[in-house]
Copies of this chain bind each other. A is one copy, B any other.
Amino acid sequence: MDSSIVKLRSKLEVYKAMTDGGNLSDCPVRDVIQGLSGKWSSLLMAALAEQPYRFGELRRLVPDISQRMLTQTLYDLQRDGYVHREVFPTKPPSVEYSLTDLGRSMFEALQHLLQWAENNHDAVRGARATFDAGQA
């Protein structure tokens, strides 16, 4: 079973790792997860996991992200060490974003969740439809 490594740790431990200290600054796991829980983070990670992209390419690739949020999300990902930003001295200068080793490592863990989402989206959509019908 591919989840054996994870299962060796009790769920309680993972939970405690998220709440230890009671506040964010004392809880590293929450601190890290926070940076990934934005609306665009996982999407941009998935894009950059495929290949490095330039700013404008990413903007065209994800048409419904605002330029402002693209800038900011890339900045945050870079700050947390997942993404490398390189400016090429062309005219006008172009900027390439790529995953760091840390970013690739993180994406491997994230990918399980993306995979699950792809495999189970109809179950989720079904649950949502049933729920909404019941509330109506």
Contacts and interface: CB of A to CB of B under 8 A. Distances in A.
A113 interface: yes
A80 B33 contact: no
A22 B121 contact: no
Copy number in the complex reads 2
B112 A35 contact: no
Contacts of A91: none
Interface in A66-93: 78-81
Contact of A128 (B19, B62, B80, B124): B80
Most interface-central of A4, A19, A49, A63 (chain B CB within 10 A) = A19
7 contacts: A11-B50, A32-B117, A37-B41, A78-B131, A79-B132, A112-B113, A113-B113
